[in-house]
Amino acid sequence: MSIEELADLIKEAANIIVNSEVVISFTGAGISAESGIPTFRGSGGLWENYRVEDVASPEGFKKNPKLVWEFYLERRKKIAKAKPNPGHLALAELEKIFEETGENRKFYVITQNIDNLHKEAGNKNVIELHGNIWYTRCSNPACENSKPFLDKKMEYEELPPRCDICGSYLRPHVVWFNEPLPQDAINDAFALASEADAVIVVGTSGVVFPAAYIPYIAKERGGKVIEINIEPSAITKISDVFIMGKAGIVLPEIVKRVKELIGVE
């Protein structure tokens, strides 16, 4: 891609955003790559030393809850060191711009990430489809503690930790393979997708469903799809504007252009 082509695509993306009332950004592991958190399907993926089914499935948890907790505590330690990068910060700026430029304008981030970095960057409208690493819940659905609670512990006296109300094992508040997504999150996400004038897809391979329906729903209802990725993804075939590049470089450029177009500082 030449510099001129890149500049044109950035202008095109910014034009779409400025002319939209409802915009969502659908993000995946790629947006956090520049914060030092490895992606799933890339080389050096997070699952490297573990088999996914052992540490991220209900069956794995049943078989060896201690191993699952060791894995997630390791991830907590890694994520605790990570900070939002310019890609996250650009999306936070975009939310502010939308808030300030019209009553009916809405900007939401819908993320598959569990690392909390969108919220740390300052986004308030965030839908977490796959949970959040900093929340824990009781594995007994009948227990009051089955409602997720904030839990920043990196070590426990006993692994797996037990619920202090009912004594069942606690579990990380993340979605595992073969598990349904949180009902509210997916409902809200699909509703937003169906009213979105534009969806900015960032750093996702787009192969994990139901999350990956989001850009298709938006497209079907007439929304424009803008995509940013370092390589083509499963979603690229429906993208109206595909910008090949790093999220931390491309997103700030788009936001800069948006600000020029609407004349804010």
Q: Determine, following the binding rule CB under 5 A, whether residue 125 of this chain makes contact with Zn ion.
A: no
Q: Which residues contact 210 (CB under 8 A, 6 or more apart)?
A: 181, 186
Nearest approach, Cβ of residue 177 and ligand OAD (Å): 7
Q: Determine, following the binding rule CB under 6 A, whether residue 112 of this chain makes contact with ligand OAD.
A: yes
Contact predicate 214/191, CB 8 Å = no
Type and span of the H or E element at 149: strand 149-150
Q: Determine, following the binding rule CB under 6 A, whether residue 159 of this chain makes contact with ligand OAD.
A: no
Nearest to ligand OAD of 41, 105 (CB atom): 41
Pick one of Zn ion, ligand OAD, none as the site partner of residue 41 (Cβ within 5 to 8 A by kind): ligand OAD
Stretch that binds ligand OAD, among 12-20, 32-40, 98-106, 213-221 (CB under 6 A): 32-40
Active site residue 130: yes
Contact predicate 69/63, CB 8 Å = no
Q: Establish how many alpha carbons lie within 13 A of residue 21's alpha carbon, considering only the half-sphere containing its beta carbon.
A: 6
Could you say which of 57, 64, 125, 145 contacts Zn ion (CB under 5 A)? 145
CB atoms within 10 A of CB 68: 25
The closest alpha carbon to 24, from 162, 224, 183, belongs to 224
Comparing every residue's Cβ against ligand OAD, the nearest one is 30
**Beta bridge partner(s), residue 199:** 24, 225
Nearest approach, Cβ of residue 247 and ligand OAD (Å): 4
Q: What single DSSP character describes residue 145?
A: G
**Interface with ligand OAD (CB under 6 A):** 28-30, 33-34, 39-42, 112, 130, 175, 203-205, 208, 228-231, 233, 246-247
**Interface with Zn ion (CB under 5 A):** 138, 140, 143, 145, 163, 165-166, 168
